[in-house]
Amino acid sequence: MTWLIRPVAIGDIHKTVVKLERRVIPAAALLIGTLAKYHKKLEEWNYHLAHCNDQLSSELQKRNLELRVESILSLNPEKFRHISRFHAFLEEKNNELYLTDLGSKNGTYIEGKKIEKAKLQDEQVFQLGGKKEDSARFKVYKPIEQIYALLVGVDYNRTSDETIDYAISSLDSLLAKTTTPCTRKIITHEQATNQEICSQLKKAETLPENSLFLFWYSAHGEEVYMTTFEDVLLKFQIEEYLNKIKAKKICIIESCYAAGGWDEINLENSLYFFSSREDETSRWGLFTQALIYELERQGIPADPKGIDMSELDKVLLVPQTPARKGEKSIFIC
């Protein structure tokens, strides 16, 4: 399990507006500084990630820096002149993440307090360089310990079995690429009864907070309910189960009127993706495949929050408008 960081704000010496990349960076054994000499040319870039090399290892020895460096995060020295060449180091110990200032000229800060070494917390922000107009801030993310995926696909008419099975296979393949331990529960066709779906949602209530519950539900739907094999489940009933789950949640609802009827969902630790708005019909399979394609394009780790829903609408090429609720960054690692 590897902690992650992401640039959240960078201000350069020219006081220009910088459009940040949404790249997620593994934080284990990461050296940060203006180390541009290890790259062939300086262009209009903000930061660059590379592996440690013999040249850097030799220079670390000369500086008496006994660091086990795996990766280098180089900030552009043309832009970030208040950040030192060897500024800070991130390392994991016993599943905790520590930040060490390497004797930088302008310091390393957490919540405005200058630090020499500190243990970082989930979603904490640290800053390199004390000048607001020329500094880099990064947000820290604790790794998810486990993933539990509940994949439910049902068509009581049994006319879309292949579409549902293909979508589940694609989701399964995506989850197989993750490094986080993952348990999958698949409920399809005759198995997708009210009792079985509710039973599995109930089990998810025992998941710890730092795990991820991935819930995919593909079925016929109306504004206030989703169908099961023999009946319907009201959306507020599903909502009640989901709100009791303490884990982080990514929920993908693929049905007609997908976004309708979820009036009380708790979005504090959740992202919801709907194949269509509350007043629109949908088409099976297309939405899930488009979503998976965009996640794979990000690479692992991936942050579903970064998916542009308007761009996803263009990919679908059908008269439906996907929607999302929740602004939480939740990583599939």
Report how far residue 240's alpha carbon sits from residue 254's, in angstroms, rounded to the nearest whole number: 19
Q: What is the pLDDT of residue 134?
A: 64
pLDDT at 245 over 70: yes
Q: Note the CATH number of domain 147-325.
A: 3.40.50.1460
State the pTM of this model: 0.85
Instruction: Tell whether the model's pLDDT for residue 32 goes beyond 90.
Output: yes
For the chain, the domains span 4-141, 147-325
Q: In what order do the strands lie in the sheet with 135-141?
A: 25-26, 4-11, 135-141, 125-128, 108-110, 113-115
From 272-276, 293-297, 318-322, the region with the lowest mean pLDDT: 318-322
Average pLDDT of the residues in 179-196: 95
Considering 6-15, 65-74, 146-155, the range whose residues carry the highest mean pLDDT is 146-155
pLDDT digits 0-9 by tens, 214-237: 999 999 999 999 999 999 999 999
Summarize pLDDT for 134-173 with one digit per residue, the tens.
Answer: 678 899 999 899 999 999 999 998 999 999 999 999 999 9
User: 87-103, pLDDT tens digit by residue?
Assistant: 999 999 998 999 999 99
pLDDT surpassing 90 at residue 265: yes
- pLDDT value of residue 13: 47
Closest residue by Cα to residue 147 from 183, 171, 179, 200: 183
| Of residues 298 and 324, more confidently modeled | 324
Please state, in angstroms and rounded to a whole number, the distance separating the CA atoms of residues 249 and 330. Answer: 8
Q: Is the pLDDT of residue 130 over 90?
A: no
Residues 4-141, CATH architecture: Sandwich (2.60)
Q: Residue-wise over 33-56: b if at least 16 C-beta within 10 A, else e?
A: bbbbeeeeeeeeebbeeeebeeeb
Do 228 and 190 meet the contact criterion of CB atoms below 8 Å apart?
A: no
- What pLDDT sits at residue 30? 94
pLDDT for 19 beyond 80: no
Residue 309 has pLDDT above 70, yes or no: yes
Instruction: Give 101-128 pLDDT, tens digit per residue.
Output: 999 999 999 988 999 999 999 999 999 9
328: exposed, middle or buried (Cβ count in 10 Å: 0-12, 13-18, 19+): middle
In the prediction, which pLDDT does 22 show?
62
Report the alpha-carbon distance of residue 245 to residue 264 in Å, rounded: 14
* For range 63-69, the mean pLDDT: 81
Give the per-residue pLDDT at 184.
Answer: 96
